[in-house]
Amino acid sequence: MNPVRMDFKTASERALELNALLKEANRLYYVENAPQMSDFDYDMFMKELAAIEAEYPVLMAPDSPTQKVGSDLDESLSKSLRNSEFRQFEHRYPMLSLGNTYNIGEVADFAARAARDIGPGFTYSCELKFDGTAICLTYRQGRLYRALTRGDGTKGDDVTANALRIKNIPQRLIGSGWPEEFEIRGEIYMPYDDFDRLNAERLEAEELPFANPRNAASGSLKLLDPDEVAHRGLECTLYHMLGENLPFNTHKEALDAARSWGLPVSDKSRICTSIEEVEDFITSWDSDRKYLPFATDGIVIKVNELPYQQELGYTSKFPRWAVAYKFKAEQALTQLISIDYQVGRTGAVTPVANLEPVQLSGTVVKRASLHNLDQMDLLDVRIGDFVYVEKGGEIIPKITGIEESRRGLGVTRPVFPSVCPDCGTPLLRDEGEAKHFCPNSTGCPMQIKGRLIHFISRKAMNVLAGDATIDQMYNLSLVRYPSDLYRLTKEQLLLLDGWKERSAERFLQSLTESRQVSFDHVLFALGIRYVGETTAKAIAAHFGNIDAIMSATREQLLEVDTVGEVIADSVTDFFSKDINREIVASLKEAGLRFEMEAPASKASDALAGASVVVSGNFSISREEMKDLIVVNGGRNSSSVSAKTGFLLAGSKPGPEKVKKAESLGVRIVGEDDFFEMIGHESPAPASEEGQMTLF
């Protein structure tokens, strides 16, 4: 590492800045699954901070990001409290990260350091570095006992129920010779095909797509519904076995044994006996990885002999017996044919480049986003240019640069439209907003049709019709607003191209059935910006009916799990418009459901209307606790505010929640008192399995 030549004052200011920058980047990456910094920049900032700390050790903060692995546990008071739904368990052995480099020379330095400490007689296990999210599986007596996420490296979230729904994680081992108990660690990842399918579904539902397969994998592993996890197509690969007195001499022997017990272990690893072989392995995968059906971001090089691994040991963050060589983001060079300006159902205009098809990280890329006018100007892009496309952390590939040396004479400057390409209305751009939008929300055909298509989609009202049908209905002036669908007659439907008696009847039947669609789907169908399926479900469950939502304040909306400021503002904005209130009124008239069904059996009114925040572990699951709150007339809320009725605290409640409750004077109620309040017998103690921490 280069020595830093900075005076102490500059170094201390920069260290503070880097600490804050890296901590925020960690939170966005591990907790929000929405990274905003590229891996490369992150690694460079980390190196810079480490260099400053090496020069001025007093500048090393006790919680410096150079000393700790990032945490996927959500301990903030933010709204994304998904993770707090999981029980947490301590890791038996800390779950560390890997030292990394982008420089082959530094891999040779790693090998030289190892040789200096343990002598020359060792071999290397070279493996793909899978770009997913880490998992730790414990097998006991041949059965999957527990699956934990990395968490903060010391304790992780218990995602066993979800792991059991990942197709290549065996619940029971096969073969023989497995130790009574062992841990095996690896990565959960999402193959490209499943990632593309998932994002297509999310786009159709107007939910934010995942930026990359890694985020999709970690977001999916933390879902609360194991059935949905099964649907996501996650896969697992395992690369590190741990346990007491394991009968192996090498890492390879351990992984070969794991494979023979039915565990998923990659067959792409190789034992290398010299640093030259390691370098060959790296070089060949740097180009061949584009043919793999999943994302890899580098190669991991490990000392293969377990006694040597032990001798080399660990720093607080990394093993000294392994290092990761990271690949630079893959790019492809291709020609820009034309630019489309797409108008979404919310009116936002996005320039999308049509490209000469090109292979990139496992898929053929034909289109790439140019984001907005500023980005086009920054790139100074011309139609006919050769452009670089990258997948990076973005949702659809983006154009990152142009190859000026290949600019031909025939290139033309693109002209960003000043009017909507669909309805001709002059486009607007709000201050501080990067995107232009068509303000004609009630008259722009693309927006009107987009909203109708969303309304009937499978996850919304599930009405049997496709985009082309909506197009025709719109062109014949049969529909404009969703409620118009419910007024269509058989005679009108027979006007549509190719429609016969039977197709009309089937369509009308599916409209009738849609009247039974539950309120959360109806709310989703309204197409409120940023309110995807999951958010609609949370809002519907929290408020119970449309009138409560329409009159909810921003603060009340913020009380809902998964609702942050952007969503809260979007909901209040939506219902502040008369047209949207009218749409709701006419849909009510059409007989759609605008309230949640009452809970099956109401036990009591003991908690009538009280907002309750649940935190910590109980003798029953947290989900069961939440159900008890609802059937006794209360409401669940994720964060403590002055309006909270009480904080229901089990063992190890979130310290921030307790602190906030204390500072606001909110009552803290324990499990026994809670059961007394609702006149419920304490449940029998849970089985030993359910209650005890393993280690």
- The footprint of ligand IVH (CB under 6 A) covers 96-98, 127, 129-130, 134, 187, 239-240, 300, 319, 322, 324
Closest CA relative to residue 398, chosen from 435, 365, 439: 365
Numbers of helices and strands, H then E, in the chain: 26, 21
Measured CA to CA in angstroms, residue 124 lies from 105, 111, 260 at distances of 16, 9, 22
Active-site position among 23, 47, 79, 129: 129
Q: Which one, 150 or 398, has the nearer CB to ligand IVH?
A: 150
Reply yes or no on whether 129 is catalytic.
yes
Q: By beta-carbon distance, which residue lies closest to ligand IVH?
A: 134
193-197 CB contacts, 8 Å cutoff, 24+ apart: 193/233, 193/293, 194/232, 194/233, 194/234, 196/363, 197/233
Instruction: Please state, in angstroms and rounded to a whole number, the distance separating the CA atoms of residues 572 and 563.
Output: 12
Q: Which one, 106 or 627, has the nearer CB to ligand IVH?
A: 106
Shortest Å, Cβ 37 to ligand IVH: 15
Q: Which one, 269 or 483, has the nearer CB to ligand IVH?
A: 269
Shortest Å, Cβ 130 to ligand IVH: 4
Q: Which one, 48 or 187, has the nearer CB to ligand IVH?
A: 187
Helix axes 39-55, 8-26, angle to 10 degrees: 140
Q: What letter represents residue 590's amino acid?
A: A
Q: Which one, 185 or 202, has the nearer CB to ligand IVH?
A: 185
Q: Which one, 322 or 620, has the nearer CB to ligand IVH?
A: 322
With beta carbons less than 8 A apart as the criterion, state whether 10 and 17 touch: no
With beta carbons less than 8 A apart as the criterion, state whether 633 and 606 touch: yes
Instruction: Please state, in angstroms and rounded to a whole number, the distance separating the CA atoms of residues 547 and 455.
Output: 20
Query: In 10 A of CB 23, how many CB atoms?
Result: 16
Lookup result for tokens 């996501």:
232
Contact partners, residue 663, CB within 8 Å, separation at least 6:
none
With beta carbons less than 8 A apart as the criterion, state whether 448 and 485 touch: no
Shortest Å, Cβ 396 to ligand IVH: 25
Shortest Å, Cβ 220 to ligand IVH: 16
Query: In 10 A of CB 395, how many CB atoms?
Result: 17
Q: Which one, 128 or 485, has the nearer CB to ligand IVH?
A: 128
- Catalytic residues, by residue number, are 129
